[in-house]
Structure 1
Amino acid sequence: MSQLNPVNKSFCLEQVCAANYQKILCLIPNLLDCLDTATGRAKGASTLHLEILERSPYTLTILLSHSFKKNLEEFMEPAVTIRLYLDLQLAEAISDHSRAAVTRVYKNPGLSLEIMNYKWRLNYFLQKWLEHCLNKNYRFSAETIETIAIA
């Protein structure tokens, strides 16, 4: 199976993360107002699930996954953990259902080439999956998003 392997991977990775940030905001327009969880639906497709894992002034960590079964206790796939850098407008895939976080896989920071390749594969996969979700016209409607009450 062929694999996309750009020459300047660090530059391309930054571009992919920037594009993924925009794709996520197109997919979930009210993401920054979401409190805990949300669901997205598309005609004839499985449900998308969003869970906010961590929120700070400059980052938001989310879990985005498909549920192929009606029972939410069933295995969710691809279950991608994504960190959004709000100030930089980047979205970085940290792990997915089949790949652990890079910090768990590579303990030695001297393995920069292997770390870059690992991050590239995760984020390139995220890019393609987000494009698939956008092409399926998933919608996170106002009723499915628990928003923060503005007082």
Structure 2
Amino acid sequence: MGNRQRSRLLPGKLTAAMSFVNPVNKSFCLEQVCESNYQKLLKLIPDLMAFKETAIGLAPHHTTLHLDIIERTPYTMTVELSHCFNRNKEAYLAPAVKIRVYLDAQLAEVLSDHVRAGVTQVFKDPGLSLEIMNYKWRLNYFLQKWLDHCLKKDYLFSADEATEALA
């Protein structure tokens, strides 16, 4: 990893920490993070490929995790993973991360999250490769840390019966 300024980091300030992590070879590190995110996502949701539309992750004394399958092709899946902080699912979902899962390459890449739009919406000029890489790095590094957090809570996923019964 490249430049890290540990002296300024405050405990519990993940967003501050993320701004200081700046690998020298971001392209290589981004690929490594996407590989790691794929493994962590499958560890968190072992039956990911089996779910048709939605699933709910439960852990004792923690907010629920919601998985929505947005798109499925032979080689990719697009899913949205979010915490629900209210009984009414539409009331407050965060961080609501949209993830493209590349099944053949075994990568998971963030497309957007609840705060930041997708890369193609933010950067219209493909010549801004450095800015695009930095943007993708921040999105995927965040997912890595969030998946680590979720894995520590021992979530168990099952199909959302209300949605599955309608299918």
TM interval, shorter chain, is over 0.9
**SS of 2:120's equivalent?**
helix
Paired residues for 1:6-85 under 5 Å: 6-85=23-102
Structure 1 runs, 4 residues or longer, greater than 4 Å off: 142-146
Matched residues in 2 for 1:5 and 1:14: separation?
Answer: 14
Amino acid at match of 2:65: L
Matched residues in 1 for 2:142 and 2:90: separation?
Answer: 25
**SS of 2:46's equivalent?**
coil
Matched residues in 1 for 2:31 and 2:100: separation?
Answer: 13
What TM-score, normalized to structure 2?
Answer: 0.84
The Cα offsets for residues 74-121 of structure 1, whole Å up to 9 and x where unpaired, read as 020000000000000000011000000000000000000000000000
Q: Name the CA shift for 1:83/1:76 in 2 (closer, same or farther; >3 Å).
A: same
Give the drift of 1:22.
Answer: 0.4
Amino acid at match of 2:44: L
Instruction: Flag structure 2 segments of 5+ consecutive residues without an equivalent.
Output: 1-15
Amino acid at match of 2:117: A
Give the drift of 1:142.
Answer: 6.4
Higher helix fraction: Structure 1 or Structure 2?
2
Identity across aligned pairs (percent)? 65
Q: Which has the higher contact order (CA 8 A, sep 6+)?
A: 1
Matched residues in 2 for 1:91 and 1:6: separation?
Answer: 19
Amino acid at match of 1:86: L
CA RMSD of aligned residues (A): 1.4
**SS of 2:156's equivalent?**
coil
Q: Name the CA shift for 1:132/1:6 in 2 (closer, same or farther; >3 Å).
A: same
The Cα offsets for residues 56-83 of structure 1, whole Å up to 9 and x where unpaired, read as 0110000000000011120200000000
The Cα offsets for residues 113-142 of structure 1, whole Å up to 9 and x where unpaired, read as 000000000000000000000001111146
Tell me if the contact between 2:79 and 2:100 (Cα under 8 Å) persists in the aligned partners: yes
* Residue matched to 1:149: none
Matched residues in 2 for 1:18 and 1:60: separation?
Answer: 15
The structure with the largest alpha-carbon Rg is 2
Amino acid at match of 2:95: P
1:124 lines up with 2:141 in the alignment: yes
